[in-house]
Amino acid sequence: MLRVAVVGSGPSGVYTAQSLVQQHDVPDVRVDVLDRLPCPYGLVRYGVAPDHEKIKSLQGNLRTVLEEDRVRFLGNVEVGGPELGPERLLELYHAVVYCVGAARDRRLDVPGEDLPGVSAATDFVSWYSAHPDAADGGFALDGVRSAVVIGAGNVAVDVTRMLARGEDELRPTDMPEPALGALAGSGVRDVRMVARRGPAQGKFTTKELRELGTLPGVAISVDPAELALDPAFADPAALPAVNRRNVEVLRAWAGAGPDPALPRRITLRFFLRPVELLAGPDGRVGAVRFERTLAEPDGRVRGTGAYEDIEAQLVLRAVGYKGVPLPGLPFDAASGTVPHAAGRVLRDGAPAPGEYVAGWIKRGPTGVIGTNRPCAKETAGSLLADAALLAARPVAPDPLAALRAAGLRPVEWGGWLSIESAERSLGRSLGRGSVKIPDWQGLLAAAEQPA
């Protein structure tokens, strides 16, 4: 038997488990999928926006893997803490695959970034996704008329859309009551998503961008003169397909102009880089100062020394994620990833026997969920190729007993099913569908109940 621990139950972890058990070259591979949270699915549960039911439904595919006979989900198990580090894991398992993602948000490093009213988009996402580590109290949106979202990736698009959505669209989702109340009752009328480069360099995918134009009651505003600052705008034919399609969507919006009769507006701005966040009279953020940029031939931009202040009582920075080091594992701070060769962790440049990585901690925070499939497959392939050597090393006979003996209280699959059942009951009591439990205590208590 080859006993493997996969650390992280997001898409990269589950696809790795799948590649390890759904193959015929190495018999009897057993996989424990460990997660710090009592709930599985990582960013599919806690990152995909609640109104994206179709992407959320991927949970069904991930569930099928976690319900395989040779796969076991063990939630509420933190790796990297004092009880369970990489060294100890290698005493319990023949191999360990780290699929821990990229847990931190990037910062802007400009003055005023810590003013009240300025947050990482990832914190906003954690709040409406009911992540149990989301800050207590969440986001109060009273008094917010205008919001600025900095960045032009899919996270920026997600939070822009969530800010512009109305109650009828939010109520059917599984978002917790306080977030639903705050978003549905908010007075946000203007959301400006601001990119430091041009329309041809947006990182968003076309489907996500186009969706902004379909929101009920929301006008889309794009200034054709600002789009035209991009040399590729006049003739996007030579751009890669996704960028060309993005430019075409923006061009159509610019041509149509915003509908003034609609109550809310999303404005897409380009060639503006944030240089300072300015306080309003109440000490909270009141505006963002941007510098106008110009395109360079290599796709980068340079500042022009011309500035524009955009009003905002809420500012969300959506400028990407960053990997964080896991104590005991090597880490390349520049890329925010673990050094590896085809998924084999490198210690001092040489493959470390039994240690592997997959997902964002391996390749950085890029790509869509499906990108994790080939990534996981490559890592699983390396591990299976090493299987004979790995299986020769003796390991503890019962890792679950060893985890319990170390003081950990793993939530097994039955516990997760109980959480799901409690979330359905909570939803029923509120006259809604399933509603997520937002706190550690509630999740762990639900896990103890019969499903």
Q: Is 52 exposed, middle or buried (0-12, 13-18, 19+ CB in 10 A)?
A: middle
Task: Report the distance separating Cα 308 and Cα 130, nearest Å.
Answer: 35
The distance of Cα 411 from the centroid of its chain, to the nearest Å, equals 23
Say whether residue 239 binds ligand NAP (CB under 6 A).
no
- Binds ligand NAP by CB under 6 A, chosen from 4, 26, 134, 156: 156
Say whether residue 112 binds ligand NAP (CB under 6 A).
no
Residue closer to ligand NAP, measured from CB, 64 or 366: 366
Residue closer to ligand NAP, measured from CB, 119 or 201: 201
Strand ranges (E), 59-217: 71-74, 95-98, 104-105, 118-120, 146-150, 190-194
- Binds ligand NAP by CB under 6 A, chosen from 89, 149, 150, 268: 150
Tell me which residue of 347, 102, 319 sits closest to 197, measured CA to CA. Answer: 319
What are 266's strand-pairing partners?
191, 220
Please, which of residues 258-297 interact with ligand NAP by CB under 6 A?
A: 273-274
Task: Report the distance separating Cα 439 and Cα 39, nearest Å.
Answer: 12
- Binds ligand NAP by CB under 6 A, chosen from 75, 86, 153, 438: 153
Say whether residue 108 binds ligand NAP (CB under 6 A).
yes
Q: Which span sits near ligand NAP by CB under 6 A: 70-78, 145-153, 276-284, 332-340? A: 145-153
Task: Report the distance separating Cα 274 and Cα 355, nearest Å.
Answer: 40
Q: How far is the CB of 58 from ligand NAP (least distance, A)?
A: 11
Task: Report the distance separating Cα 330 and Cα 342, nearest Å.
Answer: 16
Say whether residue 10 binds ligand NAP (CB under 6 A).
no
Task: Report the distance separating Cα 158 and Cα 51, nearest Å.
Answer: 9
Q: Are 362 and 374 in contact (CB under 8 A)?
A: no
Q: How far is the CB of 355 from ligand NAP (least distance, A)?
A: 25
Query: For the sheet containing 314-317, what is the strand order?
Result: 118-120, 314-317, 146-150, 190-194, 264-269, 218-222
Q: How far is the CB of 110 from ligand NAP (least distance, A)?
A: 8
Q: Which two tokens stand for residue 159?
A: 């939070």
Task: Report the distance separating Cα 105 and Cα 317, nearest Å.
Answer: 9
Q: How far is the CB of 298 from ligand NAP (least distance, A)?
A: 12
Say whether residue 201 binds ligand NAP (CB under 6 A).
yes
Q: How far is the CB of 303 from ligand NAP (least distance, A)?
A: 12
Q: Which span sits near ligand NAP by CB under 6 A: 25-33, 161-169, 200-208, 286-294? A: 200-208
Task: Report the distance separating Cα 230 and Cα 40, nearest Å.
Answer: 43
Say whether residue 251 binds ligand NAP (CB under 6 A).
no
Say whether residue 208 binds ligand NAP (CB under 6 A).
yes
In 129-154, which positions are buried (b, 16+ CB within 10 angstroms) versus exposed (e)? Answer: bbbbebeeebbebeebebbbbbbbbb
Q: How far is the CB of 331 from ligand NAP (least distance, A)?
A: 19
Q: Are 127 and 179 in contact (CB under 8 A)?
A: yes
Say whether residue 40 binds ligand NAP (CB under 6 A).
no
Q: How far is the CB of 45 from ligand NAP (least distance, A)?
A: 14
Say whether residue 155 binds ligand NAP (CB under 6 A).
yes
Q: Are 362 and 340 in contact (CB under 8 A)?
A: yes
Residue closer to ligand NAP, measured from CB, 10 or 354: 10
Say whether residue 250 binds ligand NAP (CB under 6 A).
no
Q: How far is the CB of 421 from ligand NAP (least distance, A)?
A: 28
Q: Which two tokens stand for residue 441?
A: 């205590």
Residue closer to ligand NAP, measured from CB, 100 or 108: 108
Q: How far is the CB of 149 from ligand NAP (least distance, A)?
A: 10
Q: Which span sits near ligand NAP by CB under 6 A: 69-77, 153-161, 279-287, 419-427? A: 153-161
Say whether residue 203 binds ligand NAP (CB under 6 A).
yes
Total residues at interface with ligand NAP (CB under 6 A): 26
Q: Which two tokens stand for residue 410?
A: 């793993």
Contact flags string 332-371 toward ligand NAP, x per CB under 6 A: ---------------------------------xxxx---
Estimate the crossing angle of helix 372-385 against helix 11-21, to 10 degrees.
40
Chain contacts with ligand NAP (rule: CB under 6 A) = 108, 150-156, 158, 195-197, 201, 203, 205, 208, 273-274, 318-321, 365-368
